[in-house]
Chain A
Amino acid sequence: MEEANTDVIQGTLDMLILKTLSLGPMHGFGITRRVQQISRGVFKVNPGSLLTALQRLERAGWLDAEWRQTENSRRAKIYTLTRAGRRQLEAETSDWARRASAIARLLKAEA
């Protein structure tokens, strides 16, 4: 049986990260798990892409990063959504909604 594609839809990774972090501060692996759980396994985040995206979003000022102790007493880089990040998330969400509904309309179109 062919394995189902679990790649995150291109261009949506930033939005997924911002949304996941809007639920609370998290480390990289936590984001991976959350995305996988909430999407019920439809999307699996690639660790390399995730860590690169975190770097980019942090530099853009949308996230703050800090090395901290986690609940299982390991050190991890914890990411927190900033105010600018929240605004960006709103912008990306509404843009996504606009485009997704357009795709849905197109797919439903009948001759």
Chain B
Amino acid sequence: MSVWRQIVRGSRALTNGNASDQDIADEVDAYLEQAVAELEASGLSPAEARRIAQLELGNRTAIREQVRSYGWENALGTLFSDVRYAARRLRNSPGFTAVSALTLALGIGASAAIFSAVNPILFEPLPYPHPERIVVFIGLVGAAVATQALVTLLFGVSRLDPVTFLAVIVLMASVSAIACGVPAWRATRIDPALALRAE
């Protein structure tokens, strides 16, 4: 693939569309003229030759469009005209534009606000001793609230059954202990010299 040619031809078509359109139109016309010349050479009258050549070639505008539609610059051209169209439509209906802009602004603002509130809880250690207890507390309260939604699906167990809650806590704790502990244990068994060589 000649990337250079792709870039040069494509940007020329974008910046100087008329010249490259003219080049295509010239080529289609030249194609027709050659066909006419060949038919004339075979003994047909000029008018007859032109008629047959035109029939054989088909619609010249359609061919020009077909050739023109090749190239990456067309996708870009479509994008530009879409953007222009959107801008025009927005200018014509200021009320709609204001409402959409406001909706987007509120949405972005709300997301930013929620994130700034959640960020210290989820991703940064809390400025209290034993932050994990706070997390466990939030989790327990959250679970107690969430079970409210499942209460109709429960059978033979109460919504806040202490055994179930305890079992879940023990299960989760052991899963995370294994997930953290096993890799750590394996890491301690690697010869430090080997680890350094692999660096």
Residues of A within 8 A of B (CB): 27-30, 33, 47-49, 51-52, 55-56, 58-61, 67, 70, 72, 74-77, 84
Contacts and interface: CB of A to CB of B under 8 A. Distances in A.
B38 interface: yes
B66 interface: yes
A33 B6 CA distance: 29
Contacts of B9: 58-59
B70 interface: yes
Contacts of A52: 66-67, 69-70
B2 A29 contact: no
A77 B71 contact: no
Nearest to B62: A48
B30 to A, nearest CB: 5
15 contacts: A28-B31, A47-B31, A47-B57, A48-B58, A48-B62, A51-B63, A55-B24, A55-B70, A56-B70, A61-B1, A70-B34, A76-B30, A76-B33, A77-B30, A84-B2
B19 interface: no
B8 to A, nearest CB: 9
B196 to A, nearest CB: 48
Contact of B37 (A49, A56, A72): A72
B5 interface: yes
Interface residues of B, number: 27
B132 interface: no
B146 to A, nearest CB: 58
Given A29-B38, A47-B58, A70-B34, A77 B27 contact: yes
Given A47-B57, A77-B27, A61 B34 contact: no
Contact of A48 (B41, B63, B71): B63
Given A59-B2, A74-B37, A76-B33, 7 more contacts: A27-B30, A27-B31, A28-B34, A47-B58, A55-B71, A74-B33, A76-B34
Contacts of B2: 59-61, 84
Contacts of A76: 30-31, 33-34
Contact of A74 (B27, B34, B62, B71): B34
Interface in B32-70: 33-35, 37-38, 41, 56-58, 62-63, 66-67, 69-70
* Pairs of residues from A and B, 3 with the lowest C-beta to C-beta distance, nearest first: A61-B2, A29-B34, A48-B66
Contacts of B58: 47-48
A58 B34 contact: no
Nearest to A82: B2
A80 to B, nearest CB: 14
